[in-house]
A and B are shown apart, each in its own frame.
Chain A
């Protein structure tokens, strides 16, 4: 009876030790993660439709949640920018620089990336005697690409709402419906508009530098 109790205690102690060791050895990277609200995903799916796999054409992801493959020679540096080590490997890292923002993505079919052979010929990097696919494996089910970062005009955080994302999806779809020639004309018109805006601004600035009524005498009418 005593031997059995001792055996159980030893077993429990052993399990506790395993728990402690595993807790110490596990490094948990704390990131602010958010899942896309169900109602937003549904609204986007309705607005943008679904792809050939039945997945939504549009989706919204939180920056920290969206990881992608980055392969090649990494130069790890300390906070001061000093080189610590160089290592050739494939890493799973945040895909977009704005990690604390919501991003709208659109599904792009695999054929948009060319054939697998083309993909690897363009993305294989050789360093340190190793070959690494700089963008990871070929996206044979397509890939979601960045459309839009949800933020204010000055880059400030903007909360995700179904209305906003549906508007963005509609805007992109509307843009896709425009002919290439019209898009091109729109870009050149914008450049001309900006040029005219500078001209008008410059004239206004010049006008500010002269006295009222251009210095001409005037009388007060009583």
Chain B
């Protein structure tokens, strides 16, 4: 009987936790997973899903002459179809042979190592996807404002918030036409990222031709004008040109426009918040606010706290103790003019989005799971010589796209100043 390979042990451990993977993924504590997976869209091919939209009401109203007058013709409701193409995402995790040596190959130790890698990997994968949720659908994770050796200083927003150390990135020119990494045949990996103070990232390789105004996109994209996850800035957009879910925005300039308040680089004020909220109310009805959330970066939550009209988060630490029933009032109830706040370290630091998540959904083509080939989920790595390398690899993969059936059901404030100290 051949000796049991470490890959087999790892695979065995992964199988034990396989049913937990969706649970790890779906916990609704980040914006991506707060958007529900929805089945009310029609799958038309392996890649496309159709989302019927009622774009104009039907019927012709008017008065008529009952004394033999012509009542005229009618009309029906006008529909159009938005199309959603799920994108495949993967997260690769490698375990080296050292794990086996370091743990003496005992099953329990390998089990612990496998569990740890699954939990850590899922945390990182969710963070990656949540970062993509902040973007405009083109995979751009940041814009370079200056290059100094292997250090990029990044433009706010997003600064260095959407990358993480160890991530493979690609650099495109500002028009998203030239992939500098492919042109120079180099791979660029993030070494360090400071999303709070300096907004700088360091990388191992800078492809030739990289200049300020270039943009960083995630690994796996290719060609000009790449398409990635349709994030907040894709759906919450007041543009009247271009396309939205394959619909021409120019055909429905009002319906597809999200109300916007331009803060003009000023600090967040209650007036700006009310302006944004009222735009939704005017468009959709005065009482149409029940499901809105105010989604923002921690910086803008801090700006709101600085106004001194809300209960600071640290009240929980500074308060009189957890036994008090009144403390319940403060559990997750911080609001912005009555709209519940959801903040994130990944969100655009200069923006506040009011989202009605009941109009958002995830079109899922493949549920989250381990990537599998003929029943195998763990694969050996081959060295440059063609021989076996001392490590194993497994993947999470999923295919989905995010859609909204009513861009007008939200609003946003942009070009906000960040509070001092950032």
Give the interface of A toward B (CB within 8 A): 68, 70, 72-77, 82-83, 91, 93-94, 96-99, 103, 106, 108, 112-114, 119, 122-123, 134-135, 143, 145-153, 158, 163-164, 167-168, 171-172, 174-176, 178, 180-184, 186-188, 190-191, 194-195, 198-199, 201-203, 205-210, 214-216
The reply to whether B309 and A214 form a contact with Cβ atoms under 8 Å apart is: no
The reply to whether A123 and B282 form a contact with Cβ atoms under 8 Å apart is: no
Q: Is the interface of B mostly helix, strand, loop or mixed?
A: helix
Checking A114, A122, A148, A198 against B311 with a beta-carbon cut-off of 8 angstroms, the contacting residue is A148
Checking B284, B309, B319 against A108 with a beta-carbon cut-off of 8 angstroms, the contacting residue is B309
The reply to whether B309 and A174 form a contact with Cβ atoms under 8 Å apart is: no
B191 part of interface (Cβ distance < 8 Å): no
The reply to whether B271 and A206 form a contact with Cβ atoms under 8 Å apart is: no
The reply to whether A175 and B305 form a contact with Cβ atoms under 8 Å apart is: yes
The reply to whether B27 and A201 form a contact with Cβ atoms under 8 Å apart is: yes
CB-CB < 8 A to A215: which residues of B?
A: 107
B38 part of interface (Cβ distance < 8 Å): no
Contact flag A205-B269 (CB < 8 Å), given A171-B315, A199-B123: no
The reply to whether A171 and B119 form a contact with Cβ atoms under 8 Å apart is: no
B366 part of interface (Cβ distance < 8 Å): no
CB-CB < 8 A to A152: which residues of B?
A: 328-329
A198 to B270, CA, bound (A): 33
The reply to whether B284 and A77 form a contact with Cβ atoms under 8 Å apart is: yes
The reply to whether B284 and A178 form a contact with Cβ atoms under 8 Å apart is: no
The reply to whether A123 and B306 form a contact with Cβ atoms under 8 Å apart is: no
Chain B: residues with Cβ within 8 Å of the partner, total of 71
CB-CB < 8 A to B317: which residues of A?
A: 186
The reply to whether A183 and B302 form a contact with Cβ atoms under 8 Å apart is: yes
Please list 17 pairs of residues, one from A and one from B, whose beta carbons are closer than 8 Å in the complex, sorted by A's number.
Answer: A70-B281, A72-B282, A96-B337, A113-B271, A122-B271, A123-B271, A134-B275, A149-B335, A153-B331, A153-B332, A163-B326, A172-B311, A175-B308, A186-B313, A199-B123, A214-B107, A214-B108
A39 to B409, CA, bound (A): 40
The reply to whether A70 and B306 form a contact with Cβ atoms under 8 Å apart is: no
A191 to B315, CA, bound (A): 15
13 more A-B residue pairs beyond the given contacts A147-B310, A148-B333, A205-B23, with a C-beta to C-beta distance below 8 A:
A70-B286, A97-B292, A108-B270, A113-B269, A135-B275, A145-B307, A145-B337, A153-B329, A168-B311, A184-B302, A187-B302, A203-B119, A209-B19
CB-CB < 8 A to B310: which residues of A?
A: 147-148, 172, 175
A146 to B336, CA, bound (A): 8
CB-CB < 8 A to A186: which residues of B?
A: 312-314, 317
